[in-house]
Amino acid sequence: MPNRKQIIIISVLGLLALMLGYRTGPLFKSTGERAEAGGPIASIKLPLEEKDIIGTYDALRWHNNSGSPIRQHVPYRMVFLDKGVWEYHMQVGDQKDLKWSIVDNEVHIVWNWQLVYVFKIYPDNSITHIADIRDGKRTDRAEGTQPTYKKINQPQAARSLTLEEKKIVGAYEGKFGINPNDTNPNPTRYVFLDNGVWEWYENGRKRTERKWTISNGEIHVVTLPEYAWVHRMNLDNSITWIATIGAGKRNERPKEYQLTFKKIK
């Protein structure tokens, strides 16, 4: 029968063995180590690599025009390119040639020298804006202010215009204001090209370009997948923006918000 000293030694050795087994077990591993070991978060594929992020991501987010009755969900698109290049596309303009990188398994986008956006990637390949870093200080975004973007596969097929669409080709000019009471609307030009490309110029500067087509006798400017600006063709060859379509839902614009553009060439 072991004496008191032997019992103490056996107990200490057993405790050391238990501690060693715990430290090498799955619960003690880091996030990355557990993923590599096939743990419960393996589907996130940590550590993240550039190839895991590269692609196009879309979201519909609230846009507020100072209490405008046409406040609605509008489309936003992020494009992560290789070599750390990032693009941001909105219905009213683009931001290009910004930089992104992976930091501690998060995606960081450098908006400017003071501000960095922090995103979290999920197993379904969606990406969520979870925090901001301003002047080196990180602030987590509150629940309800964390927009999520879903990764999409962009269609690549091109097509020729129909005879009806060819009648629309040309340039149109009008005034674009925030609301009917805007006393200083911006001079705006729409250009419908024969290759199905639509260009938007404001104050002589190109804001963006998108695709356009005709659907059910109306002109659809496809700002993002499942989202379009709907224009009516008028008898005098002008066009009027009458509605928007987002996520399969059509929203008619109030008459006072319907903008008309006259064909100039």
35 and 57 co-located in one domain? no
Q: Which residues contact 165 (CB under 8 A, 6 or more apart)?
A: 196, 213, 214
- Give residue 4's Cα distance to chain centre: 69
115 and 68 co-located in one domain? yes
CATH number, domain containing residue 101 = 2.40.128
259 and 173 co-located in one domain? yes
- Whether the link from the prior residue into 123 is cis, omega within 30° of 0, is no
12 belongs to a structural domain: yes
Range of the domain at 229: 163-263
Find the mean pLDDT for residues 23-28. Answer: 36
76 and 33 co-located in one domain? no
Q: What is the pLDDT of residue 88?
A: 81
Q: What is the pLDDT of residue 205?
A: 81
Is the pLDDT reported for residue 66 higher than 60? no
Closest CA to 178 of 67, 18, 49: 67
Q: Predicted confidence band at 265 (pLDDT cuts at 50, 70, 90)?
A: confident
Is the pLDDT reported for residue 29 higher than 70? no
The least confident of 79-88, 143-152, 159-168, 228-237 is 159-168
73 belongs to a structural domain: yes
pLDDT mean across residues, the chain: 75
Is the pLDDT reported for residue 239 higher than 80? yes
Is the pLDDT reported for residue 20 higher than 90? no
Split into its structural domains, the chain has a count of 3
Residues of the chain with pLDDT > 90, as a percent, come to: 19
Find the mean pLDDT for residues 228-238. Answer: 91
Last residue in a domain, options 126, 152, 178: 152
Q: What is the pLDDT of residue 42?
A: 35
Find the mean pLDDT for residues 103-124. Answer: 90
Q: What is the pLDDT of residue 139?
A: 94
158 belongs to a structural domain: no
Find the mean pLDDT for residues 173-201. Answer: 78
Find the mean pLDDT for residues 196-204. Answer: 84
Is the pLDDT reported for residue 264 higher than 80? yes
131 and 203 co-located in one domain? no
13 belongs to a structural domain: yes
179 and 221 co-located in one domain? yes
89 and 60 co-located in one domain? yes
185 belongs to a structural domain: yes
Q: Predicted confidence band at 44 (pLDDT cuts at 50, 70, 90)?
A: low
Find the mean pLDDT for residues 123-142. Answer: 91
- Give residue 81's Cα distance to chain centre: 13
Structure tokens at 42: 């393996």
Find the mean pLDDT for residues 95-121. Answer: 89
Is the pLDDT reported for residue 131 higher than 90? yes
**The tokens 């003690």 sit on which residue?**
28
31 and 124 co-located in one domain? no
176 and 225 co-located in one domain? yes
Is the pLDDT reported for residue 180 higher than 70? no
Q: What is the pLDDT of residue 89?
A: 75
Q: What is the pLDDT of residue 263?
A: 93
Find the mean pLDDT for residues 138-152. Answer: 87
Length of the chain: 265
| C-alpha torsion 174→176→181→184, nearest 10 | -90
- Can you give the pTM of this predicted structure? 0.49
Q: What is the pLDDT of residue 13?
A: 53
Is the pLDDT reported for residue 40 higher than 80? no
Is the pLDDT reported for residue 24 higher than 50? no
